Amino acid sequence: MIRRCFKLIGNYFYRVGVLAHYLILFVFLSSIFIGGYYFARHDLPADIFFKRAADSLASSQSPLLSWFSRPALYISNFAASVGSNKHVFIEIAPSSIGANKEHSFVASPKVVSDQRLIEHYQILQSERYTREVYVNTSKELLDAIKAAQPGDDIVIEKGDYYIKSSRIYVTQSGSQQRPIRLRADAYGDVSLELQTFEGFLISGNYWSFENLKINGVCQSHQACEHAFHIAGAKNIIVRNNEIKNFNSIIKANGSGSLEKRRYPDNILVESNTIYNEQGRETSSSVTLIDVVAGNDWIVRRNFIANNSKQKGDRISYAAFLKGNGRDGLLEENIVNCEWTLPDDETTRVGLSLGGGGTGETFCRGGRCDAEHHDGVVRNNLIVNCSRDVGLYLNRANNSVVTHNTLLNTLGIDVRFPETSAFVSNNLLNGSLRSRNGSTLREADNRTQIDVSELEDIRTVNSSVLLNLCGQPRGKFSAQGAADLSCFSKVGVVVGSHE
């Protein structure tokens, strides 16, 4: 009897053990198959794909799924250890793209052909300003802004200025013929140290801000949100400034109730150096140029770098235009997501039409049929957004992406049914992907290149007039933003190291 009981028990555990092993084997093989399917579908480097999978599984409420994050993380670490981790570096000479003393005075409107640029440059001509107001203390500066009249040219005299306030309210409006300007006489003369939640909160129209060095000096990153917040104001120019150490450095959105909402339209952001010196310890949005519901934005010839968000979703952008705006132009910018802040396993995206999407309440007109319409992205150099794409089109209708160079990024994503894009003449060492029902037309793009191949860039039928240097392209010119001689002209040296 005892022997029979032991036999029955033995048979039971034997059969259950076999079934359990078969079940474990089935789960293991299924996970490999499913993981392989999604890996192929997402077209990402193995270390990044499995790191994202590990993060997603680890945040699951299911203990079983959470347990599977461990082998996914192990695979990610193994793939990273055997992969080729090349980091692209760029060196920029003092006279290159971004803020510089040589850019202190705007070109004559006669030297540009873009009508929208002409209109902005006309606003900056000295004959439009009827009164010069000189200030040399922080109090005088704040008083001059508060009492500004159309035609005022507020000149901050040389020196360092410290302002502690929740916001600097810019409420007075200029006009097309009598705008208002706040500036240093030359770039480098004036430094503004701002301990402010928002620096300049702009609701007045026709203002320009030029030649300033602006630094957020809050003790907590959460306390320095924006250097410029354009709240429904129109015809604003932010030009030739160094702006650093805020979460979303230039922020724009509509203002007022939906029926009477004002929108931030006709804005020029040109020749600025925009960056953070540390990864931002915040759960707030970290997007260095963050535009919601704005029409006719021109973002050109800026150096934008070091977008890193350490808390919350840990996703940041160098710049985006979203919220049902239209006719945005991103051109001739240099973006370096990891300029002086190395890869910290956060997700850093370069330029985007559509960003991460917008709540309907904040979209232009209270709806988002698409995040952006008729946007153009051209002649940009984007490097070292190593864990995500350099260009992201999210619900971006009728977009044109041409003559951009992307190095050490995951490439270009064109995503969702609302997105339609013509992508041509781009040079990238990542992938060009159409995802989630988007419509992509492409021509003469070169993907998966090595940095060493930049010495032998093929020529293509030019689809834009100028290159990154502002030189005429002619009928045929190099793929991407520029050839090496152009990079040299603007003071850019491109190379790679492990």
Tens of each residue's pLDDT in the chain, 498 residues? 666 766 665 565 555 565 555 555 565 555 555 555 554 555 566 555 555 555 555 555 566 555 555 665 555 555 455 555 556 666 766 567 999 999 998 877 777 778 889 999 999 998 999 999 999 999 999 999 999 999 999 999 999 999 999 999 999 999 999 999 999 999 999 999 999 999 999 999 999 999 999 999 999 999 999 999 999 999 999 999 999 999 999 999 999 998 899 999 999 999 999 999 999 999 999 999 999 999 999 999 999 999 999 999 999 999 999 999 999 999 999 999 999 999 999 999 999 999 999 999 999 999 999 999 999 999 999 999 999 999 999 999 999 999 999 999 999 999 999 999 999 999 999 999 999 999 999 999 999 988 778 888 889 999 899 999 888 999 999 999 998 888 887 777 776 655
HEC string of 296-349?
Answer: CEEEECCEEECCCECCCCCEEEEEEEECCEECCEEECCEEECCCCCCCCCCEEE
The amino acid at 156: I
Q: What pLDDT does residue 463 have? A: 87
Confirm if 180 and 152 have CB atoms less than 8 A apart. yes
C-alpha 56/C-alpha 68 separation (Å) is 10
- The candidate with the shortest Cα–Cα distance to 151, out of 173, 134, 171, is 173
- Looking at the chain, the domain(s) classified CATH 2.160.20 span 88-497
C-alpha 478/C-alpha 405 separation (Å) is 11
- The model carries a pTM of 0.87
C-alpha 24/C-alpha 18 separation (Å) is 10
C-alpha 424/C-alpha 442 separation (Å) is 5
Query: What three-state secondary structure class fits 406?
Result: strand
Tell me which H or E stretch contains 385: none
Phi and psi dihedrals of 485, rounded to 5? -65, -35
Query: What three-state secondary structure class fits 134?
Result: strand
- The candidate with the shortest Cα–Cα distance to 116, out of 267, 248, 315, is 267
Measured in residues, the chain has a length of: 498
C-alpha 494/C-alpha 496 separation (Å) is 7
- CA-CA-CA-CA dihedral for 141, 143, 148, 152, to nearest 10: -40
> In angstroms, how far is CA 252 from the centroid of its own chain?
14
- The candidate with the shortest Cα–Cα distance to 103, out of 298, 381, 302, 328, is 302
Tell me which H or E stretch contains 372: strand 372-373
Query: What three-state secondary structure class fits 281?
Result: coil
Burial class of residue 450 in the structure, from the number of CB atoms within 10 Å of its CB (0-12 exposed, 13-18 middle, 19+ buried):
exposed
Angle at 195 between CA 194 and CA 199, to 5 degrees: 55
Q: What pLDDT does residue 79 have? A: 47
Confirm if 173 and 88 have CB atoms less than 8 A apart. no
C-alpha 185/C-alpha 187 separation (Å) is 7
CATH entry 2.160.20 includes domain 88-497: yes
